[in-house]
Structure 1
């Protein structure tokens, strides 16, 4: 499994070096652009998980998945979640899933 992930990462890096997108079918956002957007989302959330309030191991969660048409650039569709809460958004329904809904969009 690890070998497969490394190969996928190398292919994505190769596409990016060639001037293309990191992932096929998605807009090419540079790492610098993503870091700036990520910092905006985390700062807006007060550097806390927006589900449980934890301050450690924060991720940015796409409310609308990129595979379903979500964007890296729509700040209203990005929320700060700790790693545990972020993992719960993709948990199987049988185990219980954390559902994230945007409330008060555009009021940052």
Structure 2
């Protein structure tokens, strides 16, 4: 049995998000803020990530709630946040 494909949250399709995400990546020099690797040549592998996840009350379009993470660091951070939510830890 296959897992259903993940649906994209509509906020990430808005022009406001796209402009903000591009701005944050450029502002932070295309560097992952967790592992410090340079993604200037692989910009598609860098994600503008909510520090406090939206599911946990983080602001959608607040630049102070955003960081740049590579896909590997982002997936690790997101998995940890999901685990904490499941355990009921704030």
TM range (shorter): 0.5 to 0.7
The match for 2:22 is 39
Q: When the two structures are superposed, what TM-score results if normalisation uses the length of structure 2?
A: 0.67
Q: Structure with the greater relative contact order (CA < 8 A, sep ≥ 6): 1 or 2?
A: 2
Gaps of 5+ in 1: 13-21, 23-27, 94-108
Corresponding residue pairs, total: 75
Q: CA deviation at 1:62?
A: 0.7
Q: 1:30 to 1:86 in 2, by over 3 A?
A: closer
SS of the residue aligned with 2:49? Answer: strand
- After TM superposition, the score normalised by the length of structure 1 is 0.57
Counterpart CA distance in 2 for 1:79 and 1:32 is 19
Higher fraction of helix: 2
- After superposing the two structures, state which structure 1 stretch, 58-67 or 82-91, moved more: 82-91
Q: Deviations over 1:7-57 (max 9, x none)?
A: x55xx7xxxxxxxxx3xxxxx675211110101110111011112222131
Let me know the Cα RMSD of the aligned residues.
Answer: 2.5
Q: CA separation in 1, counterparts of 2:56 and 2:19?
A: 23
